Amino acid sequence: MPADAPTTPTDETNPGSRLLEGLTEQQRLATRTLEGPVLVLAAAGSGKTRVTTRRIAYLIERGEPAWSILAVTFTNKAAREMRERIERTLIEAGLASGTPRGLICTTFHSLCARLLRRYADAAGLPADYSIYDTADQLTLVKRVIAGLELSTTNFPPRSVLSSISNAKNELIDAEAFERQAGDFSTRHLARIYKGYEAGKRQAGAVDFDDLLLLTARLLGEDATVRRECQDRWRWLLIDEYQDTNRAQFVIASLLAGTREERGRDPNIFVVGDPDQAIYSWRGADITNILEFEERFANATVIPLGENFRSTAPILGVADTLIRQNRQRKHKDLFTSTQGGSRVEVTLCRDEGHEASLVVDWFKRFGEEGLDGEGRPLAWRDMAVFYRTNALSRAVEDELRRSGVPYVVVRGTAFYQREEVKTALAYLRLAANQSDDVSLTRVVNTPTRGIGKASLAAAQQFASERGLPLFEALRRAEEIPSVSARAANGMRAFVAMVDSWTGAGTFMGTDVAASLRDLAERVIEESGLEAHYRKLAAKQAEGEEADASRVENLEELVSSAAAFEEDYDPADDPMRFDEAMTGDAGTAGVPDLLGVLRAYLESVSLVADADLESSEDGAVTLMTLHAAKGLEFAAAAIIGLEEGQLPHSRAHTSEADLEEERRLCFVGITRAMRRLHMTASRYRTVRGVSERTIPSRFLEEIGTEHVTLSDQSDPFAGIEGTGMGAASSPRRLGTGGPRELSSADEVERAAAGDKLAAGLAAGTTVRHPRFGIGVIETVSGGANARAQVNFRGIGLKTLVLEYARLEPVD
DNA sequence: GTTGCCAAGTTTTTT
DNA sequence: ACTTGGCAAC
């Protein structure tokens, strides 16, 4: 600690702290206003993470114990980013050599998972509860719908789940839902909701939304628990506050406490930017920002407006775009930096062209650096953003071809692989034998003679007696309609799982010695590995061997082993007493069950596989949602097309459209020095190449800071309307495509002629849908058409501009 | 009970 | 395109 640092926590000025150096007046205010509720309205790039991390360091510098600080974010990436920044700040300030023990910096979901684990009794949960992911939820809800003899046509499982999820985000449980259910369909929904809840309870499982709902309920109803949490956490910080939903707001409120409970105004510090609210589809509620001042009296509101991240042109583009949002409190984005390259907008032919263009752009920076500085830019300083994960494909291919290292941030992909999920289901069953969903998944994978019929009998046997399915299998002989063969299979299965876990005791000589050992035994003794190996070998006879599944299983073992390596139960900041007294407790002897639970929790909640990285890192590919909170020297946003960004699913309301615009805004403001936005004239979606029209956002960014380049081959068609103009008349808000289509008519006529010239009568052509045909007649001009006689289909008249006929020999 | 084939639905974004 | 589910054949 610096010698001149005052140590009294009540000293508000602390003029000597190095932690306040290099901050603007407003940033300094946000950093050192420690007491009472604080709401920071931080524009993009205004240093909000900087302020948050300095604030935490400042608290620590002033002698506040690390365990009394709770920092909550919305996504795992944000949490990790903040942990790293805190660590760096503390080290730089000479306050710590790492993340101080007991400091919690995590996501809402993860925090709740830990709280529910700690207070499982009070929450009415088993300590070994499982967390169901979307696929598990789907399985269960389907089972419930079938059990209620309802049809999945009237009640599509996905939309049922989304109704349930929405309800939970509003803290409406099954009973409350039923009470307010009016019409026929909603009453049935309520029944499904109840059945779904019962299924989870029976399995000792919770879903993602339960983590929040149950925690909110726990804190609200159990005064002892609430008291304990409030006593421990005196300093509450919430990042990305604009993305919190109702449940999260309630949790934050309860953790903060009231003035009556605390005897003073709670120290709750929230940072948010309404312009970056992009999670309304998950129930995020912007009114949480507005309500902050109501809920917390005497709140200090601090605006952070100045942008320190991006060059003036990038900021200009961002500002011009976001001004189109009507439901917005106006706010000026400004920077005091001068100069900077214009934002590049390029129209490409197709996704392959787009990808190579972007990769070439990166390679130039990799060689020459930015703006001809000569100092090469590291790969890690470059990123590609896109609206949907599917768009990464072409860019990945191109990067691989060019030998440019890259990482795709694709949340859960690895853990959602079939083989990985199955292996994890085995592990979950080992951790929690009541987990019927996991059991059902693995009991006959690979096949061991326990088919649908036998399983149904066991199911019945179990539910008659209120037993977990696993117990029914254990008593296979007692189940009347189960064949000897199936009973054998069941017994062997139970014996196998028992041998891993010492029949659930995790004691005894046969029990797996470590998590790694357990994982290895699971994939081997279950026959999973052999199963996929055989499958791969079989395929190899044909053409391509798919060894990746076996590799994935091996990778899972490595991931488990790596987790185990790092795991230190004493690090668990949820161990209140140890955290608060500094007593390491039972450190060093993590029992297998403890590691296993922690591991399973981490794979359900922290699903981003964090691979990487070579010397100067790798180019990062991610969705716009994932990009929030990050920054890169050079960034490309691809797929700026109607239907993609804004996404077609978000076309319905003005509010949705504005969220898409904010999403685009988030992407733009990630770029520090160079920004490239691309649209592709054709894009292959689900196997078929489709015409696109450039995103309205490309018009809305204006022309002042932009260099527009149309590299789409006029031969492949010109600015057209296709689906766009027809399906969205006058396009919401800003009118038609002006800049891009001013020369439209002339160009269209010329291009039509050109298209027609290439396709004389008698030419054989291929059409993506109709196949091979011969041209009979052709016309030119703006709406050039051709009559084509297709094999087996007959005569069709096609508009050349859209038809994409390819001449063939 | 198991395997293999065809039809259908799926895809926004994250925990 | 790509996976999942249902159904018929083995």
Cα of A757 vs its chain's centroid, Å: 49
* β-strand partners of A796: A788
A508 beta carbon to strand B: under 7 Å? no
pLDDT, residue A739, reads: 33
Q: What share of chain A is helix, strand, coil (3-state, %, to 5)?
A: 50, 15, 35
Q: Are A333 and A307 in contact (CB under 8 A)?
A: yes
* Crossing angle between the packed helical segments A592-605 and A548-566, to the nearest 10 degrees: 120
Binning pLDDT at 50, 70 and 90, where does residue A212 land? very high
pLDDT, residue A724, reads: 32
Residue numbers 324-363 of A with CB closer than 7 A to any atom of strand B: none
pLDDT higher at A448 or A628: A628
Torsion of CA A47, A52, A57, A62, to 10 degrees: 120
Dump pLDDT digits (tens) for A582-626.
Answer: 555 444 344 888 888 888 888 877 655 444 444 568 899 989 998
Q: Are A409 and A396 in contact (CB under 8 A)?
A: no
pLDDT, residue A767, reads: 57
Alpha-carbon distance of A383 to A631, in angstroms, equals: 9
pLDDT, residue A218, reads: 95
Is the confidence at residue A249, as pLDDT, over 50? yes
Residue numbers 208-247 of A with CB closer than 7 A to any atom of strand B: 208-209
Alpha-carbon distance of A212 to A254, in angstroms, equals: 12
Is the confidence at residue A475, as pLDDT, over 60? yes
**Is A416 an annotated catalytic residue?**
no
Q: How far is the CA of A686 from the C1' of B8 (A)?
A: 15
Question: What is the average pLDDT value for chain A, to the nearest integer?
Answer: 79
pLDDT, residue A542, reads: 43
pLDDT, residue A10, reads: 42
Look at residues A695, A692, A705 and name the one whose alpha carbon lies nearest to residue A732.
Answer: A695
Is the confidence at residue A2, as pLDDT, over 70? no
pLDDT higher at A719 or A363: A363
Binning pLDDT at 50, 70 and 90, where does residue A662 land? very high
Q: Tell me, what DSSP letter sits at residue A328? A: S
Active-site hit among A81, A87, A207, A239: A239
Helix (H, G, I), strand (E, B) or coil at A578: helix
pLDDT, residue A8, reads: 40
Look at residues A611, A598, A696 and name the one whose alpha carbon lies nearest to residue A647.
Answer: A696
Residue numbers 444-483 of A with CB closer than 7 A to any atom of strand B: 444, 447-454, 483
Is the confidence at residue A513, as pLDDT, over 80? no
pLDDT higher at A538 or A292: A292
Cα of A783 vs its chain's centroid, Å: 44
Dump pLDDT digits (tens) for A61-111.
Answer: 888 998 999 999 888 878 888 888 888 888 888 877 777 778 889 999 999
Report how many helices (DSSP H) and strands (DSSP E) chain A contains, helices first: 34, 22
In this prediction, residues A463-481 reach a mean pLDDT of: 79
Q: Token pair for residue A79?
A: 């949490």
pLDDT higher at A665 or A390: A665
- Residue A627's nearest nucleotide, by CA–C1', is B13
Q: How far is the CA of A114 from the C1' of B2 (A)?
A: 43
Q: Are A455 and A448 in contact (CB under 8 A)?
A: no
Share of chain A above pLDDT 90, in %: 26
> What are the Cα distances from residue A172, in Å, to A27, A132, A192, A241, A304?
39, 19, 14, 22, 36
**Is A670 an annotated catalytic residue?**
yes
Binning pLDDT at 50, 70 and 90, where does residue A39 land? very high
Q: Are A82 and A105 in contact (CB under 8 A)?
A: yes
In this prediction, residues A415-420 reach a mean pLDDT of: 76
Q: How far is the CA of A461 from the C1' of C10 (A)?
A: 31
Cα of A70 vs its chain's centroid, Å: 22
pLDDT, residue A400, reads: 85
Least confident piece of the model among A267-281, A610-624, A777-791: A777-791
A110 beta carbon to strand B: under 7 Å? yes
Q: Token pair for residue A365?
A: 């920076």
Q: How far is the CA of A443 from the C1' of B2 (A)?
A: 15
pLDDT, residue A226, reads: 95
Alpha-carbon distance of A366 to A615, in angstroms, equals: 13
**Is A433 an annotated catalytic residue?**
no
pLDDT, residue A676, reads: 95
Look at residues A607, A596, A521, A522 and name the one whose alpha carbon lies nearest to residue A563.
Answer: A596
- Residue A390's nearest nucleotide, by CA–C1', is B11
pLDDT, residue A412, reads: 60
Alpha-carbon distance of A398 to A402, in angstroms, equals: 6
Q: Residues, chain A, total?
A: 809
Read out DSSP for A453-503?
Answer: HHHHHHHHHHHHHT--HHHHHHTGGG-TT--HHHHHHHHHHHHHHHHHHTT
Residue A248: other Cβ atoms inside 10 A:
26
Residue numbers 532-561 of A with CB closer than 7 A to any atom of strand B: none
* β-strand partners of A621: A384, A408
Alpha-carbon distance of A651 to A673, in angstroms, equals: 31
Is the confidence at residue A567, as pLDDT, over 70? yes
Number of alpha carbons in the 13 Å side-chain half-sphere of residue A16: 10
In this prediction, residues A411-439 reach a mean pLDDT of: 79
| Three-class SS of A156-168 | CHHHHHHHHHHHH
Is the confidence at residue A770, as pLDDT, over 60? no
**Is A210 an annotated catalytic residue?**
no
Alpha-carbon distance of A213 to A265, in angstroms, equals: 25
pLDDT, residue A342, reads: 92
Least confident piece of the model among A105-114, A187-196, A229-238, A766-775: A766-775
Q: Are A297 and A285 in contact (CB under 8 A)?
A: no
Least confident piece of the model among A47-51, A149-153, A193-197, A305-309: A149-153
pLDDT, residue A478, reads: 80
pLDDT higher at A47 or A571: A47
Binning pLDDT at 50, 70 and 90, where does residue A726 land? very low
Least confident piece of the model among A537-546, A550-559, A617-626, A718-727: A718-727
pLDDT higher at A142 or A252: A252
Dump pLDDT digits (tens) for A111-120.
Answer: 999 899 889 9
Binning pLDDT at 50, 70 and 90, where does residue A533 land? confident
pLDDT, residue A725, reads: 31
Q: How far is the CA of A447 from the C1' of C10 (A)?
A: 17
Q: Is A558 exposed, middle or buried (0-12, 13-18, 19+ CB in 10 A)?
A: exposed
Binning pLDDT at 50, 70 and 90, where does residue A551 land? confident
Is the confidence at residue A438, as pLDDT, over 70? yes
Binning pLDDT at 50, 70 and 90, where does residue A737 land? very low
**Is A49 an annotated catalytic residue?**
yes
Q: Are A681 and A692 in contact (CB under 8 A)?
A: yes
Is the confidence at residue A639, as pLDDT, over 90? yes
Alpha-carbon distance of A56 to A45, in angstroms, equals: 19
**Is A239 an annotated catalytic residue?**
yes
Q: How far is the CA of A717 from the C1' of B10 (A)?
A: 30
A527 beta carbon to strand B: under 7 Å? no
Q: Token pair for residue A331?
A: 């706010």
Alpha-carbon distance of A548 to A509, in angstroms, equals: 34
pLDDT higher at A417 or A305: A305
A375 beta carbon to strand B: under 7 Å? no
> What are the Cα distances from residue A421, in Å, to A14, A144, A207, A443, A603?
53, 22, 16, 13, 10
Is the confidence at residue A250, as pLDDT, over 90? yes
pLDDT, residue A624, reads: 92
> What are the Cα distances from residue A302, in Å, to A30, A43, A135, A270, A746?
7, 11, 42, 10, 53
pLDDT, residue A602, reads: 81
Q: How far is the CA of A686 from the C1' of B10 (A)?
A: 10
Residue numbers 27-66 of A with CB closer than 7 A to any atom of strand B: none
- Helix boundaries (H) for A341-451: 351-368, 392-402, 413-416, 418-431, 436-442
Is the confidence at residue A743, as pLDDT, over 50? no
Distance in angstroms between the alpha carbons of the first and the last residue of chain A: 79
Share of chain A above pLDDT 70, in %: 79
